[in-house]
Structure 1
Amino acid sequence: MLDVVVIGAGFSGLEAAYSAQQAGLSVAVVEARDRVGGKIWSAPLASGRGYADLGGAWINDSLQPRVWAYVQKFGLGVVKQRLEGRAVMQESQEKRFEFPFGVTPDFSPEEKKNLEYIRDHIQAESLKTGLPSAQVDNVSLDQYVRDLGALPKTAQMVNLWARVMHGLESTEESAAWFIDYCRRNKGLLAIRADDSTGGQHLRFQDGAQSIATEIAKLIGAGNIHLASPVASINDYGSHVGVITRTGKTFLARKCILSVPSTMYKELNITPALPQAVQEVTNNTILGDYNKAIVCYDKPWWREQGFNGYFASYLGPVILARDTSVDERKHYSLTCFVNGLPGRQWSKLPPHERRAVVLKQVAQIFKTDTKSEVFRPIEVFDQIWQHEEFSRGALAPVTALGHLTKYASVYGRPVGNVHFVGTEYSPEWKGYMEGALCSGELGARQVVEAIQRVPAAKL
C-alpha cells in the first residue's frame, strides 16, 4: 500500500510526487505518455543544434522562485529573450507597421489614448486581490471592454491578448477569468512583458523539458510508470485504487490527479465527483494553442534590423518571437497560431500549415520568394488540441459565470482524491512556476491529511 499515487507526470504531478517523497511518503507516478513533462516538451533538432520547445518555454529568474531554484540545482543554461531591433504589427493584408519593441503601436492619437485607457483599467483591476465579482464573471471579456468604451482597434487588441495568452477569442472567456488570471500573474503587464519584469524573460539552452527529466531522476525511475493511461479511479474510503488501461493496479491512501480538469469527465471515477464539481469541470475548455517553429541556418531577420517579434490581427500566426539559442547555433522563430485562426489552421494538412506560415513570415518581414524565409533547415508544428492527453493549452478556462459560482469546490479535494495543476495555482497560473506551485501545495495538503488519519489496516 502506497501513501500516494500521482496521475500525470507533468510539472505539477512531478512536483507533487517529489514534495510528498521529501515529506517521507511513498509514491508512484502514473503517466499516460511515454515521457515526462506534460505540456513541456522539448524535441531534439535533427541538426543536433539543441531543442525546439513545443510547449512551455519561458521563465523568470527573479519572479518565479521555484522554477529558478531548479535551474540552479540542476545547473541548466538559460538565454535572455532577445529584444534588440524593431517589432512588426500586421493589421491587415495591406497594412503593417514597424515600431520599437515595448511601446504602444502607432495608432491615431484617439485610438492610442483609448487603448491605453483600457489597458490601464485592466492592469489596475489585475493588481487587486480576491476573485472578481459574479457580475464581471457573467460577461465576456469582449463585452466587458466594449462596455468600458473600447474602440474597434482596442477591442481587436484585447482579442489578440486573449488569443496569445489563452488560445481563445475574447468572446469565449469571461472578463473575470481573464482578470483573475492576470491577478495570479502579477498583473496584465507582467504577463505581456518579455523583459525582466515579465513571464517571457528567459529560455533554456537545452529545452524546458530538462527540468522535468531531472525532477523525475530525483523521484526515481522505479517510481514512475510511463505509457500507462488510467482507466479508472476508485475511492474506497480507506484508500484509493487506480487501474491503468494496461492492467496495472495501484493502491494508495491518497490519489493526486494532475490532468487538466477538462479531461476529468473522460476518467471513470467512482464514486462520481459531486454534481457541482462535474458542472464546473465538464464545462472548462482548453484553448487552441499551437506552435510552428521555423529553424534557420542563420538569423536573417536580425540583419534587416528586426528582433523577430511580430503580432498580427490577421493570422494565422498571431504572434512570433525569436527563440534562437546562439550558443548552440540554433536560430529559430517560434510562431504562435492560436485562437480562431489556429482552429482553422490545425485542420490543414501539414504541408499547407507550413506553407501558410512561411508565406506570412515573408509578408511580415517584406521579403520575396527567393529569401531565406523559404529555406528553413527544420520546421516543427505542434497542435495541442490533437494531443490525446492534453486536448489544448495552456490552462482550462471556466464557462461564463462558473469561476465565481463554483469557487468553493473548484480544485478542492473530494474524498481521497486531490487535484493539482497550473489551473489551480494562486500564482503564475498557466506557467511552469504555477504548475510547480500547485504540485507543492497539493503535496502539502495530502501530507497533512495523512497525518490526521492513521493508516487503515487492510
Structure 2
Amino acid sequence: MSARGGKRALYMLLYFKSGAGIDNIISDQKDGGQYLRNRQGNQTLSQKMAEELCPNSVFLRMPVTSIDQSQGGHCTVYTDGGVSFQCRRVIVSVPTSLYHQILFKPALPKGKATLSDNTATGYYTKVIYVFKEPWWQTAGLSGVLDSDKGPIIFTRDTSIPVDDQWSITCFLVGDKGRNWSKLPRAVRLQQAWEQFSRSFGEFVDVPAPTNTLEMDWTKEALFLGAPCPITTPGVLTKVGSELATPVGRVHFVGTEASREWRGYMEGAVRSGQRGGAEVVKALLAESMPRF
C-alpha cells in the first residue's frame, strides 16, 4: 500500500477499531452496532431529558452564530435569533465540519481550524417502507438486502413488534445515493421501490407499503450528511489528536471525537459524558480557594 493509500485507510481502520471490528459494527447480534433500537425513536431521549430540567432551560431553533471568550472569565454565546447567553463554559456538539459556521473569538487555533476545513460528512439517505404485516418474516427472510448496484446499498428490519409496527429501512449512500438524490422525488422513489420489490420478489410476493418515509441528511443545514464526519487524507495524522481538545473555556464533543463507537449514537453519548466531566472538573477547579 502506498503512503497516500495508507492515509486514506487510516480513518477507516480507526473507525472499525472503535466499534471492536467491522463484523461487530454491522452486527445485529447482542452488543453489535445494529443490535439496539429505541422503540419511539432517538428524539424521545432528548425530550424526556428536557422534561426533567427547569422551565426555559432548553432553547430551540436558535442556531449559534458566535462564541466570544475574548473578555476572559466567561463566554458570550450569540444566536441567529438575536438572543445571547453568558456562561462560564461552553460545550460545542455540532459536527467538526460545521465549526466554520460559528465565529469564534478569538479564532480557533490552527489545529482545530485545519480539522474543520478538512472534515466532511458522507451522503446518507434513509427510505423507510412501512407495511401492514411482516411478510418477509413470515417467509423466513431477515429483511436484509446488500447490493453494490444501487440506489439502495443495504436494508435492515426496523420493526417494533410490540407496537404492531412493521418496517424495513433502506440506506442510499455514497456516490450512488448522491446521484440518485438529484432525480425528481417521484422518480427517486420509483427507482428505490423497483429495486426493493425486485430483490425481495425473487423469494416472496412483495405487497405495496402502507407508507413511505424519506430522510436526506445532506439537506439538513445542521448536519449536511451522515453518519460521521471524516477527515481527508493526512489530516488525522497531523492534528487528529486535537479533535477533543478544549480551547480555553470552549469544550468539544461529538461522535467523531469518541474513542469508542465513533460514528454511532453510543460514541456521541460517551463523548458528551467526557465533555460534561471536563466542564465539571474545570468549574470545581475555578471555585477552589487560592492561597
- Matched with 2:38 is 204
The DSSP-based 3-state class of the residue aligned with 2:262 is coil
Shift of 1:391: 0.7
Q: Looking at both structures, which has the greater relative contact order when contacts are Cα pairs under 8 Å and sequence separation is at least 6?
A: 1
Whether 1:350 aligns to 2:215 is no
> For the residues of structure 1 that align with 2:149 and 2:237, how far apart are their CA atoms?
33
Verify: 1:324 aligned to 2:189, yes or no.
Answer: no
| SS in structure 2 of the partner of residue 316 of structure 1 | coil
Q: Deviations over 1:299-322 (max 9, x none)?
A: 222333321101001011000011
CA offset at residue 213 of structure 1?
1.4
Pairing partner for 1:433 from 266, 285, 288: 266
Residue deviations 1:13-61 (CA, integer Å, cap 9, x gap): xxxxxxxxxxxxxxxxxxxxxxxxxxxxxxxxxxxxxxxxxxxxxxxxx
Question: Which residue pairs with 1:139 in the alignment?
Answer: 4
Between the aligned partners of 1:294 and 1:206, the Cα distance in structure 2 is 17
1:119-173 deviations in whole A, cap 9, x for unaligned?
A: xxxxxxxxxxxxxxxx98x534xxx6xxxxxxxxxxxxxxxxxxxxxxxxxxxx8
Aligned partner of 2:286: which letter?
A: V
Which position in structure 2 is the counterpart of 1:385? 218
* SS of residue in 2 equivalent to 1:430: coil
One-letter code aligned to 1:355: Q
Please tell me whether the aligned partners of residues 115 and 240 of structure 2 are also in contact (alpha carbons under 8 angstroms): no
In structure 2, the partner of 1:49 is: none
Choose which of 217, 237, 241 in structure 2 pairs with 1:404. 237
- State how many pairs are aligned: 286
- Does the 8 Å contact 2:132/2:166 carry over to 1? yes
Alignment of 1:95-134 (within 5 A): none
* Aligned partner letter, 1:192: I
Matches within 5 A, 1:257-406: 257-366=92-201, 372-373=206-207, 375-406=208-239
Change (3 A) 1:238 1:203: same
Change (3 A) 1:240 1:339: same
TM-score between the two structures when normalised by the length of structure 2: 0.92
Q: For residues 395-436 of structure 1, give each alpha carbon's deviation from its aligned partner in whole angstroms, at most 9, with x where no partner exists.
A: 110110111210332221111111011111111111221111
Q: C-alpha separation between the residues in 2 aligned to 1:197 and 1:386? A: 31
1:218 aligned residue? 52
Write the letter of the residue equivalent to 2:97: T
* TM-score calculated relative to the size of structure 1: 0.60
Give the partner amino acid of 1:341.
K
Shift of 1:180: 0.8
CA shift digits 1:56-99 (9 cap, x unpaired): xxxxxxxxxxxxxxxxxxxxxxxxxxxxxxxxxxxxxxxxxxxx
SS at match of 2:273: helix
Distance in 1 (alpha carbons) for counterparts of 2:25 and 2:261: 9
Equivalent-residue separation in structure 1 for 2:194 and 2:285 (angstroms): 61
* Structure 2 residue identity aligned to 1:262: S
Residues 146 and 154 in structure 2, CA contact (< 8 A), matched pair in contact too: yes
Q: Which amino acid aligns with 1:333?
A: I
Post-superposition shift, 1:201? Answer: 1.2
SS at match of 1:355: helix
**Could you tell me whether the CA contact under 8 Å between 2:135 and 2:206 is conserved in 1?**
yes
Matched, 1:228 2:62: yes
Q: Which has the higher mean CA deviation after the structures are superposed, 286-295 or 348-357?
A: 348-357
Match of 2:85 in 1: 250
Name the SS for the 1:353 alignment partner: helix
Question: Which whole-Å CA distance do the structure 2 matches of 1:273 and 1:387 have between them?
Answer: 25
AA matched with 2:51: K
- Give the gaps of 5 or more residues in structure 2: none
1:197 is displaced (CA, Å) by 4.1
The residue that corresponds to 1:188 in the other structure is 22
1:367 Cα offset (Å): 5.6
In the alignment, the residues of structure 1 paired with residue 156 and residue 55 of structure 2 have an alpha-carbon distance, to the nearest angstrom, of: 35
The C-alpha deviation readout for 1:309-344, integer Å capped at 9, x for no partner, is 010010110000111112222111100001111111
Identity %: 37
Counterpart CA distance in 1 for 2:154 and 2:23 is 17
Aligned counterparts of 1:293 and 1:380: Cα–Cα separation in 2 = 5
**What amino acid does structure 2 have at the position aligned with 1:428?**
W
